[in-house]
Amino acid sequence: SQAVARSVVQAASVYLTPVTLELGGKCPCLIYGRINIQAAAQRLVWAKFFNAGQSCVAPDYVLCTEATRDALLPALSSVLEQFYGKEPQKCPDLSRIVSARHFTRLMKLLEQTKGKVVIGGESDQEDKYIAPTVVVDAGDDDALMAEEIFGPILPIFTVEELEKSIEFVNRHEKPLALYVFSDESSVVKTVMEKTSSGGFCSNDGIVHMTLPGLPFGGVGTSGWGSYHGRWSFETFSHRRACMMRGWALERLNTLRYPPYTEDKLKWLRWTTSQQSSCSLM
Amino acid sequence: SERASELYEILVLEAELHLSITRLAEWAAPRPVEKNLFTLLDEVYVKPEPLGVVLIIGPWNYPWSLTLLPLVGAIAAGNAAILKPSEISSNSSKVMEELLPLYLDKDLYQVVEGGVPEAQELLKQRFDHIFYTGSIAVGKLVMEAAARHLTPVTLELGGKSPCYIDKNCDVGIACRRITWAKLINCGQTCIAPDFILCEPSVLNRVVEEIKKCIKEFYADSTKTSDDYGRIINQRQFKRLVGLMEGCTIAFGGDADEAQGYIGPTVLKNVTGESKVMQEEIFGPLLPIITVNSVDEAIQFINEREKPLVLYVFSHDNKLIKKVIAETSSGALVANDCVVHFLDSALPFGGVGHSGMGRYRGRHTFDQLSNLRSCMIKQLRMEGLNSMRYPPHTAKKLSWARRFVLSHLNVQRLRNMVMLAMLASLAAFVVQRFLR
């Protein structure tokens, strides 16, 4: 979390220890333009309710038009039933909330939200179970926007224009991941160019972090540094610059030794103006 | 002198600007990465993007190059920047504040002059990256301040850079290069050779050679030569004079407080506990410590904090490789000093107490960018995804393993396809024409 990260960096500063911080944030999921609603719903449900939403890169909230929302809700319902059956609490593939403290935290969010629960909302304290829940009609200042949800609650905000949606995203801290669902590549491109995030994935969620070739990390309050694959190797290595010079051509070195004359300087200007990064000295 | 300034400050800036301008398109382009079977049809790449606003705090020893080199990278990476040049090099700071707004966009690039109170006020603000060049003590404070906003930092600090001279090397040439490097800017360089380690048998020769070089470089008098620098201020002057206590002066030791002049001074009978070995010298004092072997030298080096750079002078490559393998430092240069800074392809930076992060050339660009991982998928081929959707079964899992754990080196595949095509073409040619 960010609070603990601040203490970690402060502690590290005493010994000048470099740090890598993998934090979190609210990962927005924008759905705009022409779209294959069924495929989008499947991927969104998988990414959001995987591990009961307790993933740092889970889509935290959705932004879309009212029409898209109206088409999305029944699709979400049917996919949830497809994945977790008619009684999700009995499904072995649906996780539980990790601790009583987090269960209470999430239930409080559901109590405090000014939005309407349209799917799910059931819970069982003893089992630490919260059903996959979708909330609509909450405002920007809602309890669900005050912190990273990290649970199986998906708020959907309706914003008619893509531009305003991007502004909504940019009003908040840079997230660990940003998602866009659209069949229109111009929509994807616009969102990518006008926002900033640690990672970006179009038309899916979470999977960008399964590729070890991609650096996994945040930016701003979502983190500092990155890892996975070779990036991990680099993170935990010191890339030592090594230069082995020869003993020959010592005469050439007189160009750099004092006394400094205009002639010497002319030659040196010429060597350093070369495009290649090798030095003649 | 004016020429020395151009040599050590301006030339390197010009080279960096030239490099950045010509290579910017290459650096800023999306960088494709290796895919697996699962992501075969997707576009996957790392896209460098600006971080936002960068704070650059510059040092006083090379106020122009060390403050503006990071600025070049910051601008190349698409950031806005605030510069806080050192108040100790007050003339440079004033000129920078006057000139920069005349040539750069005033809204995006600003210069804030001032000392400690101004720096502290700046550090309370939120930046997207802080680039600090200076002392270890202040580096710690910068990082602590950055912690509040979780701002990443690059710290270019210092330390005592050891210089080992193998007794079997060409001591004359070695000493010439060392003397040159040590006396640039009167020793006030973070990568100057701080102290020498050598065997007792070459001690006198080293001292003699250094004396010879000084005569060669500065004619008869360093005091009157245009090319010999001065100590930046009274405080540093007094500090340096104090460091000479407790050692034998092999030669030099002249000091003139009114002029801020300290002559090149070689110290012997120095041990690890001497005053001059307790802090980075940053002046024209060169202690020589005797060690009986390279192993003893390595041990001496490893007992101390990791330096910004380590110098080894030897004709024996095995010895050089031994030093590389058994020590750690920001950089290592064999058989010369300081010049590694001129190669903009080499990442310049420290490790441990000598700093964190690196810059120069493309490295500055990468350091001041957000390297954003991007995966562009389409909503097609949804059938393939069923292996990851619940309900989870063993069969789905085994398919998933196959897809995710596959390693697809697209370049190698492409090469193999080309080879196959070439082979079939060759076979065709042989069949048709050469039968």
Nearest neighbour of B373 by CB, restricted to A12, A199, A253: A199
Contact A207 B39 (CB under 8 A): yes
Residue A266: pLDDT band by 50, 70, 90 thresholds?
Answer: confident
Is A272's pLDDT higher than 70?
Answer: no
Q: From chain A, pick out residues whose CB is under 8 angstroms from the CB of B35.
A: 211, 213
Full 3-state SS string of chain A: CHHHHHHHHHHHHHHCCCCCEECCCCCEEEECCCCCHHHHHHHHHHHHHHHHHCCCCCCCEEEECHHHHHHHHHHHHHHHHHHHCCCHHHCCCCCCCCCHHHHHHHHHHHHHCCCEEEECCCEECCCCEECCEEEECCCCCCHHHCCCCCCCEEEEEECCCHHHHHHHHHCCCCCCEEEEECCCHHHHHHHHHHCCCCEEEECCCCHHHHCCCCCECCCHHHEECCECCHHHHHHCCCCCEEEECCCCCHHHHHHCCCCCCHHHHHHHHHHHCCCCCCCCC
b/e sequence A98-124, b meaning 16+ C-beta within 10 Å: eeeebbeebbebbeebebeebbbeebe
Q: Do A265 and B3 touch (CB under 8 A)?
A: yes
| A146 pLDDT above the threshold of 50 | yes
Q: Is the pLDDT of residue B182 over 60?
A: yes
Whole-number mean pLDDT of chain B? 92
Catalytic residue among A56, A64, A148, A201, which? A56
Query: Which residue reads 């030298």 in tokens?
Result: B297
The sign of the CA dihedral A219, A225, A226, A231 is: positive
Asked if B298 and B326 touch (Cβ cutoff 8 Å), the reply is yes
Q: Please indicate whether, in this complex, the C-beta atoms of A243 and B340 are within 8 angstroms of each other.
A: yes
Partner-chain contact A272 B11, CB within 8 Å: yes
DSSP state of B388: T
Does the structure show a pLDDT above 70 at B351? yes
Interface test with A, best of B218, B369, B376 (most A CBs within 10 A): B376
| Predicted confidence band of residue A211 (pLDDT cuts 50, 70, 90) | confident
Q: Which of A259, A241, A16 shows the shortest CA–CA distance to B338?
A: A241
Q: Judge: A9–B136 Cβ closer than 8 Å, yes or no.
A: no
Mean pLDDT of B233-246: 92
Task: Indicate the pLDDT class of residue A127, thresholds 50, 70 and 90.
Answer: very high
**Average pLDDT, integer, range A218-230:** 92
CA distance A146 to chain B (A): 18
For A166-171, what is the mean pLDDT?
96
- Give the mean model confidence (pLDDT) for residues A199-228: 91
Interface mutation vs chain A, best among B171, B209, B341, B373, most A CBs within 10 Å: B373
Crossing angle of helices B136-149 and B116-124, in 10° steps, is 30
| Range with the poorest average pLDDT among A39-53, B14-28, B392-406 | B392-406
Nearest residue on chain B to A251, judged by CA atoms? B173
CA–CA distance, A48 with A29 (Å, rounded to integer): 10
Smallest Cα distance from A110 to chain B, Å: 26
CA distance B163 to B336: 10
The confidence band for B347, taking pLDDT boundaries of 50, 70 and 90, is: very high
Looking at per-residue confidence, does B10 or B410 come out higher?
A: B10
User: What residues in B contact A10, CB-CB < 8 Å?
Assistant: 144, 147
Task: List chain B residues with CB under 8 Å of A197.
Answer: 372
Catalytically annotated residues of B: 156
Kindly state the average pLDDT of the residues A240-249: 88
Residue B408's pLDDT band, with cuts at 50, 70 and 90, is low
Confidence at residue B403, expressed as pLDDT on a 0 to 100 scale: 74
**Quick one: pLDDT at residue A278?**
45
Instruction: Please tell me which residue, A58 or B392, carries the higher pLDDT value.
Output: A58
**What would the pLDDT profile of A33-91 be if each residue is shown by its tens digit?**
999 999 999 999 999 999 999 999 999 999 999 999 999 999 999 999 999 999 999 99
Checking if the pLDDT of B414 tops 90, the result is: no
Question: Among partner residues A197, A225, A268, which is closest to B11 by beta-carbon distance?
Answer: A268
Asked if the model's pLDDT at residue A163 lies above 90, the reply is: yes
Residue A260 to residue B7, Cβ atoms within 8 A: yes
What average pLDDT does this structure show over B355-367? Answer: 94
> pLDDT confidence of A257, banded at 50, 70, 90?
confident
* pLDDT tens figures, B328-345: 999 999 999 998 998 888
Average pLDDT over every residue of A140-151: 93
By residue count, chain B amounts to 435
pLDDT on residue B275: 93
The per-residue pLDDT for range B70-100, each reduced to its tens digit, is: 999 999 999 999 999 999 999 999 999 999 9
Long-range contacts of B101-109 (CB under 8 A, 24+ apart): B104/B75, B107/B80, B108/B80, B108/B81, B109/B71, B109/B75, B109/B80, B109/B81, B109/B82, B109/B83
User: What value does the mean pLDDT take over residues B184-201?
Assistant: 95
Average pLDDT over residues B218-237: 88
pLDDT of B409 = 66
- Residue A281 clears pLDDT 60, i.e. is over it: no
Q: Which of A36, A92, A259 sits opposite B219 (nearest CB)?
A: A259
Per-residue confidence (pLDDT) for residue B383, from 0 to 100? 79
Tell me if A245 and B333 make a contact (CB, 8 A cut-off). yes
What ipTM goes with this model?
Answer: 0.88
Active site residue A56: yes
| A237 band by pLDDT with thresholds 50, 70 and 90 | very high
> Whole-prediction pTM value?
0.90
pLDDT of A280 reads 41
Q: For A2, which of B150, B157, B389 is closest by C-beta distance?
A: B150
What pLDDT is attached to residue B123? 96
Predicted confidence at residue A277, as pLDDT, reads 46
Q: What is the mean pLDDT of residues A175-186?
A: 95
From the CA of A117, how many Å to the nearest CA of chain B? Answer: 24
> pLDDT band at residue B252, thresholds of 50, 70 and 90?
very high
Of B18, B51, B139, nearest to A273 by CB-CB distance is B18
The pLDDT confidence band at residue B410, using thresholds 50, 70 and 90, is low
Q: What pLDDT, on a 0 to 100 scale, did the predictor assign at position B4?
A: 73
Average pLDDT over residues A96-114: 95
pLDDT above 70: residue B183: yes
Residue B188: pLDDT over 90:
yes
pLDDT (0 to 100) of residue B359:
94
Instruction: Return the percentage of chain B with pLDDT > 90, whole number.
Output: 77
pLDDT at B281 over 90: yes
CB burial of B234-250 (b: ≥16 within 10 Å; e: otherwise) equals eebbeebbebbeebeeb
- Reported as a pLDDT band with limits 50, 70 and 90, residue B220 is confident
Residues 6+ apart with CB under 8 A from B375: A199, A200, A201, A202, A204, A207, A208, A211, A214, B39, B42, B43, B44
pLDDT at position A221 over 60: yes
Percent of chain B with pLDDT over 70: 98
